[in-house]
Amino acid sequence: MKPGGQHIALAQAYDGITRVIADLPDVDLQRPTRCRGWLVADLLFHVLCDAQRALVALASPVPGPPDVDSVSYWRPIPSGGDDGTRHARWIRRSAAAFDRPNGVVRLWGDTAPAAVRAAGAAVHSFDPHGCVTTQGHVIAVPDLLATLTTEAVVHHLDLVVDLPDAPPPGAVALGVAVATLDGLLSDAVRPTCWDNQEYLLKATGRVPLTDHDRRELGEAAGRFPLLG
């Protein structure tokens, strides 16, 4: 991707979420999502925490070299377990602490653009490949932005499961998420019948693999979901 492309992708990913939730009434912010037990407001708060983490990370430069990139960042992350359960409960309690569900929307509207501006400043700095620290890792700024974009795109698809008229993720942001999954799939090839959204949903365990999918994937089917 060209210099600055990851910033463009993150801006598109966060704008995509904003377009989904900006005008939703409270009743729609309480619709279910693909994330079990989380309503739209809950999931939005989870993505909001990512935008807040981006602001901290982009203000936390460290010397390189990085210990993860945009693909290997995802490999050690386990799915489920006690930590995941505790986080899910904390998210629900935190989102419920707002007087109304649209309080999360207002905070997202302040935070997401700030994270995008900080990302733009970082990639257009003197050292656009400088490193930052986040979640115990050292990562180059473009790779950090790719991880944030991937998570935002996947959760965009989670948000709209019960919002049939919502806009889909943008093409540039979607391309970054697909490239991440291609990296995790490594030398295997995804089924040719999958479009990008189906790929994302199946590779993240949101939609189960069919028998046909498993035949096409072969041994690689055992590695699914590629990320949770």
Q: Which helix (H) or strand (E) holds 85?
A: helix 81-96
Note whether 47 and 149 are within 8 A (CB): no
> Is 80's pLDDT higher than 60?
no
Looking at residue 126, what is its pLDDT? 54
Q: What 3-state class would DSSP assign to 52?
A: helix
Cα distances (Å, whole numbers) of residue 2 to 6, 85, 94, 109: 8, 38, 38, 28
- How would residue 84 be classed by pLDDT, with cut points 50, 70 and 90? confident
pLDDT (0 to 100) of residue 85 = 86
pLDDT digits (tens, 9 = 90+) for 160-190: 999 999 999 999 999 999 999 999 999 899 9
Reference 44, options 89, 106, 116, 134; nearest CA is 106
Q: What is the pLDDT of residue 81?
A: 52
Residue 1 in this model has a pLDDT that exceeds 80? no
Quote the pLDDT of residue 137: 96
- For 84-102, b/e burial (b = at least 16 CB within 10 A) is eeeebeebbeebeeeeebb
Per-residue model confidence as pLDDT tens digits over 15-36: 999 999 999 999 999 999 999 9
CA distance 202 to 226: 9
What domains does the chain contain, in order, with CATH numbers? 5-223 (1.20.120.450)
Q: What's the pLDDT score for residue 180?
A: 97
**What average pLDDT does this structure show over 68-72?**
96
- Per the CB < 8 A criterion, the answer to whether 9 and 175 are in contact is yes
